[in-house]
Amino acid sequence: MDHSQAAKVWQDLEAHRQSLGQTTTRDLFAADPDRFARFSFRLDDVLVDLSKNCVSADTLALLLSLARAHNLEMRRDEMLRGDPINTTEGRAVLHTALRAPADADIRVDGKNVVPDVHEELARCYAFADKIRSGVLRGATGDRITDVVNIGIGGSDLGPAMGARALSPYADGPRAHFVSNVDGADMADTLARLDPSRTLFLVSSKTFTTIETMTNAQSARAWIAGSLGETAVGDHFAAISTNIVAVEAFGISKDRMFRFWDWVGGRYSMWSAIGLGLMIAIGPENFAAFLAGGHEMDRHFATTPLEKNIPVLMGLVGIWHRNFLGYAAHAVLPYDQRLGRFPAYLQQLDMESNGKRVHLDGTPVTSDTGPLVWGEPGTNGQHAFYQLIHQGTNVIPADFLIAAEAHEANMGDHHAILVANCLAQTEALMHGRSLDEARAVLAAQDMPEKKVELLAPHKVFPGNRPTTTIAYRKLDPRMLGRLVALYEHKVFTQGVIWGINSFDQWGVELGKELASRLLPVVKGSNVEGLDASTKGLVAHLRSLRV
């Protein structure tokens, strides 16, 4: 990286922000009739409209210079060719290899990993087919009708989000997901299931995560308790990088699916971790999901930065976070089946870019990843949009909308959904001035005093940034493109911030303390704890029957 060049562009961006002064997106639209065409970008049917963000051509040009000063293209190529860019863990970062075609050549330590990827994928597909067709059955000879993925974080959110997103394509056994160590999660799921027809997939990269191992042991006891110990083998499969621990759990090699340490947990839904999704939607649909991801990879790898969608989304995010000071980012899918997408992105974005030191360990000098959150529209409109429209903080938001619904013959549902999505982005950008609010009220024949009283409450500041991602339909290929789009956006921002987007040391301390506290919660000595924790333990113990 050219530090002095990067610092100079950063200063130029700050000066540029000053020079924009009070300019609003509304002003930018008024000044440029071609703004939509200039600031919206396409990949086949996917259109990403950045025009409702307060960026000018100069803003984008400066942001692109910033990306170049940080050697974004070089860093991207390093990732894609398998260099060990996850420096704190000494690993390559190759989730893109999981969706590469069979003839690709991507090397880790000199070895092409693509044949291994395709071999494991073929094993997963064969297993999925056998479960779906009833060739593989439970111990009693019954067909498997329900598959429960036991995993957490990246070993849960991807397949869980995907299974919900692609439910119109689900023609296999029903998919369930248990993640929380709260026994309620497992108990509520088991209550709906018949052990003789249930398959458990224990998904854990490390196969040591306490939540997953506790849930897996409970599931094992449930099967052994109702069908006998010898039935366990027929009702379990495992997905992990830790072959030794899987064998120790009692899952045979032929029901064990691998992935590799160069796949981060939050980037793993493309691997065998997607097995639950694969069994639900079938190998063909899963292959379309992978192909969609690869399509976005090609776009990211080969499109000039000026038209590179994930890069531009990442850079606009940098503008918001670092130059306009916006601390949060909302993801608002107008697609009910993307209900878990914001939660999925929370891990992808916040576990990747919630960092406070540079790659070399020195403290960061600018803010890093924002708080990411969201809910599907239109429900959010009737809950928290009030704050997005009129609250004191500006929250940039992504709106996701399909042209086509899966439901034919549902009258105006989809048209109303689309109208709401577009109306919200228009309202957020346009706003309503005090004079406009007064005029609206006056047109209702309201007494002047009341108009004056009410008008300030009806003012919408506007100039609230939104990006709209519009696509034909939420099919497997589209979901693949969408997930890969956000992965590369997160990568772009990590490069600009100079952080490691692929480790997650921030989750370790809580884990360590939880294992230290477990015996205390169960009754051992509270000495050595801080006064608050000691008091809480005592209170909880006193309430326990």
What residue ranges bind ligand F6P (CB under 6 A)? Answer: 152-155, 204-206, 209, 212, 265-266, 351, 504, 507
For the chain, give the number of residues.
Answer: 545
Residue 489: CB minimum distance to ligand F6P, A: 19
Active-site position among 120, 211, 295, 351: 351
Tell me whether residue 505 or residue 516 sits nearer to ligand F6P (CB atom).
505
Tell me whether residue 121 or residue 273 sits nearer to ligand F6P (CB atom).
273
Other CB atoms within a 10 A radius of the CB of residue 344 amount to 25
Residue 350: CB minimum distance to ligand F6P, A: 11
Token code pair at residue 292: 């969609």
**DSSP code, position 357:** B
Would you call 235 a catalytic residue per the annotation? no
CB 153 within 8 A of CB 177: no
The residues that bridge with 466 in the sheet, in sequence order, are 397
CB 148 within 8 A of CB 189: yes
Tell me whether residue 115 or residue 506 sits nearer to ligand F6P (CB atom).
506
Sign of CA dihedral 387, 389, 392, 396: positive
b/e burial code for range 108-123 (CB count within 10 A of at least 16 → b): beeeebbeebbebbeb
Tokens 């047109």 -> residue: 443
- Whether the bond into 214 is cis, omega within 30 of 0: no
Tell me whether residue 242 or residue 492 sits nearer to ligand F6P (CB atom).
242
Chain center to CA of 452: 45
Tell me whether residue 345 or residue 402 sits nearer to ligand F6P (CB atom).
345
Which helix H or strand E contains 41, and what residues bound it?
strand 40-43
Residue 304: CB minimum distance to ligand F6P, A: 33
Would you call 382 a catalytic residue per the annotation? yes
CB 305 within 8 A of CB 64: yes
Residue 270: CB minimum distance to ligand F6P, A: 14
Query: Distance between CA 202 and CA 256 in Å, rounded?
Result: 9
Residue 222: CB minimum distance to ligand F6P, A: 20
Query: Distance between CA 226 and CA 284 in Å, rounded?
Result: 35
Other CB atoms within a 10 A radius of the CB of residue 359 amount to 17
Tell me whether residue 204 or residue 501 sits nearer to ligand F6P (CB atom).
204
Tell me whether residue 76 or residue 266 sits nearer to ligand F6P (CB atom).
266
Query: Distance between CA 540 and CA 205 in Å, rounded?
Result: 33
Query: Distance between CA 349 and CA 424 in Å, rounded?
Result: 24
Query: How far from 111 is each of 82, 84, 116, 349, 534, CA to CA, in Å?
Result: 10, 13, 10, 30, 52
Query: Distance between CA 446 and CA 482 in Å, rounded?
Result: 48
Tell me whether residue 347 or residue 493 sits nearer to ligand F6P (CB atom).
347
Active-site position among 253, 382, 522, 539: 382
Other CB atoms within a 10 A radius of the CB of residue 508 amount to 10
Name the residue whose CB lies closest to ligand F6P.
265
Residue 198: CB minimum distance to ligand F6P, A: 21
Query: Distance between CA 503 and CA 497 in Å, rounded?
Result: 15
Residue 205: CB minimum distance to ligand F6P, A: 4
Other CB atoms within a 10 A radius of the CB of residue 38 amount to 14
Residue 242: CB minimum distance to ligand F6P, A: 8
Tell me whether residue 41 or residue 249 sits nearer to ligand F6P (CB atom).
249
Tell me whether residue 95 or residue 389 sits nearer to ligand F6P (CB atom).
95
Query: Distance between CA 517 and CA 528 in Å, rounded?
Result: 11
Question: In 3D, which of 205, 260, 311 has the Cα closest to residue 84?
Answer: 260
Would you call 284 a catalytic residue per the annotation? no
Active-site position among 3, 111, 413, 511: 511
**DSSP code, position 173:** S
Q: What are phi and psi of 372, to 5 degrees?
A: -105, 130
Residue 359: CB minimum distance to ligand F6P, A: 19
Residue 59: CB minimum distance to ligand F6P, A: 34
Q: What is the 3-state secondary structure (H, E, C) of 294-349?
A: HHHHHHHHHCCHHHCHHHHHHHHHHHHHHHCCCCEEEEEEECHHHCCHHHHHHHHH
**DSSP code, position 267:** G
Catalytic residues: 351, 382, 511
